[in-house]
Structures are given as structure tokens and as C-alpha cells.
Structure 1
Amino acid sequence: MAKNVLIIGANRGIGLALANEFRDQGWVVHGSIRPQTRGDPSAEELGCVATKVLEIDYLDEKTIEQAANQYGNEPLHCLVNCAGVSGGPLQWQSNDGEIFTRYFQTMVVGPVLATKHFERNLLLGENSKIVNISSICGSISENDAGGKIAYKVAKAGLNQATRTIAMDFKKRGAFITTMSIDPGVVATRLNGWKSKVDVKDSVRGIYSVMDSTEFQDTGLFWSWNGLRIPY
């Protein structure tokens, strides 16, 4: 029986590449777009890969809840929180409350709410997995340069959310393996098409880490190449 994956933020960049990778690995792919991009050509491209295309905006919890209701009572074997925003102002003094709030809402609150509303489906999947697409920029111990403070704080927050939810599942005996994964610097619209890692190598690596991670390793932070990253 084929497994179900839901990739939130699946119509562009890493999300779309992951959708193709999961499909090639034999999964039934479900993907999300923001309601504002329903008419975008990228939504049509996702529709060629995904069985269901849901509308989710991390800034609006109602869209997450509605998407979960639309998904129904099917088991979910993997949830990938992939949607995000770019690095933002380089100098920390250029940030304001609005920027910080948008980054935190998009990259921390949104994935937490998605996990909350799809938890029942993940439990139906048995030994399901949650993959939060993070960044090495969210590692406090690896931070040896300034800049991009809102992005770095948000990714660090996502990593803490990953670990906290993982420990909660573990304490409850809910076998959902949760992880953060850094995809590497892949050329996407969000980062101005800068690249150090080919997107195909990145998504194959992300899939491999997801597939090989056992429940005993829940809550850890990984690189796409399989190396563990310190928080």
C-alpha cells in the first residue's frame, strides 16, 4: 500500500522538487499552495504531481484547519513543512517588529499549527514522520557571522519547536518521528537563485535522511547530506 505525504509549500523550489522525489519513490503526493497563488502557473505544475492540491497560508490558521478537513480521514505517513521566506535585511538594525513577526509566524507558528491540525492523520499513518525544512542558520552553536537576524531567529525557533514536539510525542508514546533538515544552499526564487548544492542532490538527500531516521533519533537536526547538525 502506497504511503501518503503532504508537502506544505510544494509549488516551487525545494517543495516542488521534493514532490517529484516522493512521487518517484512511489508515494502518493499531496501538496499545498497559498490561496493567493491558485492562479499561478506553478500551481498547475504541482497539479501534475500531486493527487490533492490544498490551500494553506501559514499566516492564517483557518486555511490550515480547512485543509486538514479537506484532507479527511486518510492516514498521513509524512508531513513536510517546507514553506518559508527569504533571508531578509542583512543588518540587524534594519529589521522591525513587522518583519520579525512575519518571519516567526511563517517559519515557526505555521509549521506548529500544521502539525497540530494534521496530528490525527499522522497518528493514523503509524510510525509517521514530520520533516521541518530548516537551515544551518538556525544553529546557535554554528553561528559565527552576523546578518539575517530575523531569519536566523525564526529557524532557531523552528528547531526548538521540532525538538519540543518530538519530546512530547515520545513522552506520550506516539510514534511520530520528528526532525529538522537543512537542505543546503539551493538555487530558488527565495534566495535569489544562489546555489552551492544542486536541488536534485538536496531533495534526494532530504528523502534519504527522512527515510532512514528511526524513532530513537526523533527531534534531531540533520543536514541534507546525512550529517548531524548541533542545535
Structure 2
Amino acid sequence: MLSYFPGANQGIGLGLAHKFFEEGWEVFGSVRPQTINSPSLSDLRKVASKIFEIDYLDESLIARAAREYGDGPLDCLVNCAGVSQGPELWQEYDSQILTEWFRIMVVGPFLTTKYFESNLEKSEFGGKLVNISSPLGSISENYRGTKFGYKIAKAALNQETRTIAMDLKGRKSSISVMAIDPGAVPTSLSRWRGNITVEESSSGIYAVIDRVGVSETGGFWSWNGEEYPF
């Protein structure tokens, strides 16, 4: 089976690439052009059949990666992107920060999904579309006025996930769509805070992806299998 990971040269994306490879999948990964010479790329090369250049801020690169991938089937697409090093107070955000964050965490995954949808439709196993999200994107569970930019971007990603899922379901598509929280994993995004290892998170996410099918499309899950409210 074929899996593709935009943002796969470090952290959770890299962990998932290794997990899928261990489970017998053929893995494709992507990295931003700015990190193409990163030492971490050697770890991705150990498991990826091919590495593409994708920057969620550049639609032309996403389109080019889709052309380079070709017309063949894709069994699972995992959109993995995040940025959170922002102001503490919501009043300190400006249009430049919010626009960039939305482009990275909302628009980029949308465009990648759009360009690879036809490949997912061709999967003989039923394609899986996975957006790596966060419980901070849950509106009903928001009780603190913190992490403003990250919260509203992930909430938008969750709505994007649900809307695409409902459209595909209405068209009798075989693609299953889900948002998954990877948990508190110590990565550069979390400023190395967290109590869940990359390996634990990746194994849990894989189990959720493997289990969730069309009947549960559009759901929001934790890495440990718990379903989150939107």
C-alpha cells in the first residue's frame, strides 16, 4: 500500500513515515525546499521511496509534487503541518501572522488534498485522508483565552476535514477522512514539551487510521483512539 506524508523529515511526520514503512507500506515523503539539505533527511531516505519538495505556502510546489507523483493510486495521505511560536496575547496578532498561519495549517492541507484526491479515489483499499490536528482546535472544549492563532487555525482545519468528508460521503466516495491529534509529543513545535514519545504517538495514530473507515468519516480522534468533540 502507498502512503504519502507532506512534512516528513522530522517530528511526528518522520515518525509516521517510519511506522508505515514498518507495517509494510511503500512510503513517499515531502520536505520544504528550505530543508532539503537538513541532516534529518537521511532518516527519511531510509524509508521513503521518493521525496518531493512541498511548501504549504507555495501552491505551485504542491501542484508539481502531484504531477511528479503521477496518476497512480494513493492509499493514504497524511497532512502534517503546524506552527505555534506566536504572541501570547490575541491583541498582539496581526494580519501577516494570521494569514501565514492559515496558509500553513489550513490552506496548504486543503490544496494538497485537492491535488491528490484523484489518486486517493483510485485506491483499491479505500483511500485514507488524515489531517494532523489538535484538541486546541475544539470549539466546545475551549475554556482558556490562550494560543489564539493556533486554536483558530486548527479549528478551521477541523471544519475543513469535516466538510470535505461530508462532500465525499454524499458522493459515495470510498475515501475515509479524519482529523487526528498526535498528543503531547516533545518536538520543535511544542518547544520540546510533552510526555508521549514519537514512537507511541505514531503507533497510536496508525491504529486509528487503520481502524477508521467510511462509516466514521469526518471524525476527530486522539492518537489513543478517543473521539474528540468538535
Deviation of residue 227 (structure 1)? 0.5
Q: Is the 8 A contact 1:131 1:181 kept in 2?
A: yes
AA in 1 matched with 2:116: F
Equivalent position of 1:115 in the other structure: 113
Deviation of residue 190 (structure 1)? 1.4
Of the three residues 21, 24, 47, the one matched with 1:23 is 21
Task: Give me the CA root mean square deviation.
Answer: 0.9
Deviation of residue 87 (structure 1)? 4.8
AA in 2 matched with 1:165: I
1:12-161 correspondence to structure 2 within 5 Å: 12-126=10-124, 127-161=126-160
Partner Cα separation in structure 2 for residue 175 and residue 69 of structure 1: 23
Partner Cα separation in structure 1 for residue 59 and residue 42 of structure 2: 24
AA in 1 matched with 2:186: A
Number of matched pairs: 229
TM-superposition CA deviations, 1:34-92 (whole Å, max 9, x none): 01111111223211210010000000100000000001122100000002212522211
Per the normalisation by structure 1, the TM-score is 0.97
Equivalent position of 1:164 in the other structure: 163
2:218 is the counterpart of 1:219: yes
SS at match of 1:120: helix
TM-superposition CA deviations, 1:183-206 (whole Å, max 9, x none): 111000111100122221111110
Structure 1 portions without partners, runs of 5+: none
Equivalent position of 1:181 in the other structure: 180
TM-superposition CA deviations, 1:133-185 (whole Å, max 9, x none): 00000000111111111100000000000000001101111110000001111
Partner Cα separation in structure 1 for residue 121 and residue 129 of structure 2: 11
Partner Cα separation in structure 2 for residue 40 and residue 79 of structure 1: 23
Identity of aligned residues (%): 55
Partner Cα separation in structure 1 for residue 201 and residue 38 of structure 2: 25
Per the normalisation by structure 2, the TM-score is 0.97
Higher mean C-alpha deviation, range 197-206 or range 107-116: 197-206
Of the three residues 2, 6, 9, the one matched with 1:8 is 6
AA in 1 matched with 2:131: N
2:227 is the counterpart of 1:228: yes
SS at match of 2:177: strand
Partner Cα separation in structure 1 for residue 161 and residue 38 of structure 2: 31
Equivalent position of 1:194 in the other structure: 193
Partner Cα separation in structure 1 for residue 101 and residue 184 of structure 2: 19
Structure 2 portions without partners, runs of 5+: none
SS at match of 1:117: helix
SS at match of 1:125: coil
